[in-house]
Structure 1
Amino acid sequence: MTDGDSDTPGLARRELLAGGLLAGTALGAVAASPAAAAGAADGGPGASGSASAGAALVPPTLASPTTFRFTYRHLSYFDFTPESSSSARAWSSSGGCYATTPSVLWASIEVPYGALVREIEWYAYNVSTGTVTALARLWRAGVSTLFVTVADTPITSGAGVRAFKSVVPEANFGPYPTGTKLLLGFPCDQGSQTIINGVRVGLSHGGAEAHVLPEPPRVFDTTATGGKLAANATLAITLAPAETLGTGGIGIVARITLSAGSAGGAFKIWRVGFPEPDVPQIYFGASTAVGEVTLPFWMDRRYNIRATRAVHVRIDLVARLT
């Protein structure tokens, strides 16, 4: 993007580019403290990943606690590029990049088809005399302006790089049609007084990534716990150990092995406290049957299992969906 014929550097010129007839809603900014974010950002309740040896290599970040069943996309300072052809991106030791002449730094992310953009969290530095507004706009193929305001975020003046989160209003969060993309703009009208460190976008209803385990661990086994699952009996189980399943994500892929059935039957697995599904996931005979089932992930790891015939049940974790 370039300035074109306009040499007005302020937000008014940018609003024209971004479709000024669509007024952006300035949402409340929340500055997340590192101490408050540390627990959930690195494996606490609601985190997107479990604690691991790698956590010791990376100190707690500014990121606020994640939201259960959201997936996240991140951009760093080097993903941004100046809107103006007369400007350049420069690095600052204060924690990110800025534009060398007044301009907006822009970056973009793909929004998976069907996904909803639920929250946008900026990591930014602003020691200018006033608040600046970080922009989130929707690009549409064939349209010269950024025609939809998703959510604008006030970046207030203060010391150091801080976190500012906006919750996207329901009217704006999608789903969007194909041929669209989310563009994120950070205004740099004050030189090195306004610096972009990065941004995190929270999505729901799409965008999950599958992380396949090289050696699927066993998380439940009736052959090791004293006997078969009884016919037509609902058994509440806890998948274990907890560290194998982690403390976050939106789902799991489980390989279920049914063996030594007393006769042919049907097997179901579902979340404790929810209605039993009408349709079984796996049918089995007297010989061993194996099937893979995708399940929503829950923090307590509690599921019901039920079979129409007595059978041994072994469950292995194949993949996590995060």
Structure 2
Amino acid sequence: MTTDVVEEEAHLTLPAATVEAGRLRFASPGDADQALRLGAFNLAVPEDLDVSAGLAFCRTFYQPATGGPGDRHRGHREHGHPESKLGYEDRPDQVEQLQLESFLWQRYLPDEVTAVLRRMRELTLDTLYGVFDAAGIPEEDRELVTGGARQDTGLCYTTVNHYRTGLSDRAGIVEHSDSGFITTICTDQPGYEILHEGRWTPVRERAGHFTVNLGDAFRVLTRKLPRPVTAVYHRVPELPSDADTPDRSSFTIYMGPRYDMFLYQYDTEGRLRRFQDFRAFSVEKAGKLGYEFHSRV
């Protein structure tokens, strides 16, 4: 009995939301408030969305190409992706990852993976505008601060992650906040933790749900407003190698300003002001986290 109580206290359950007819809906206004304070919440996976193709790609993209018909699923470590400013990266933690902008998905990825990502992009966009509603961001400002998210002229990309558990004595993924507005995460194993009330707290998995992170662009934009949005500080601790369990996989949809844009912030009078060049902001942040910013950006 005591063990059950301790286990319950040791994990955090995030508020949950759904997207219905293009609108983000929380169970109660209190859940919406909690989501803004935490900077994270769970989002129900629509019944008609099968994410298995995305997770399968996570388990092969880093493997060497074979010269066969399946090479759109593998060989991405060596590919180069010349049209992308992001591409493949070995991080200083356990993660190796592939990041590709949304306009390149069809060119570089298998069709079934592209279909999943496009559906998740629609869901993430509806979720982003639902958070704008909850935070009280005027509709007339939203395309400016996002760089045109509705027109797909902002920055949208996928991050495909393979956790290399054979690499020890390093974090699973280093503690950080996301730089953009929103990241929708699909993962096949637990491990996600957030810094909550001064301590790292594991987040309880909710079956059939994505995890949504709110990022620095939201924090900067709303910091002086009545309902500020937290940029959730999160991590995955070191994951041990287990012969009976495959390496952890995850993939995401990220949306934020373009790197040639400014971050914006409302002042105490509710007036929108330029805050900082987003590329400069991102370079500074990468340096603090111990990794190099994308050289092609």
Q: Is this a same-fold pair by TM over 0.5?
A: no
* Greater strand proportion: 1
TM-score scaled by length of structure 1: 0.29
- Judging by fraction of residues, say which structure has more helix: 2
TM-score by length of 2: 0.30
Which structure's CA Rg is the greater one? 1
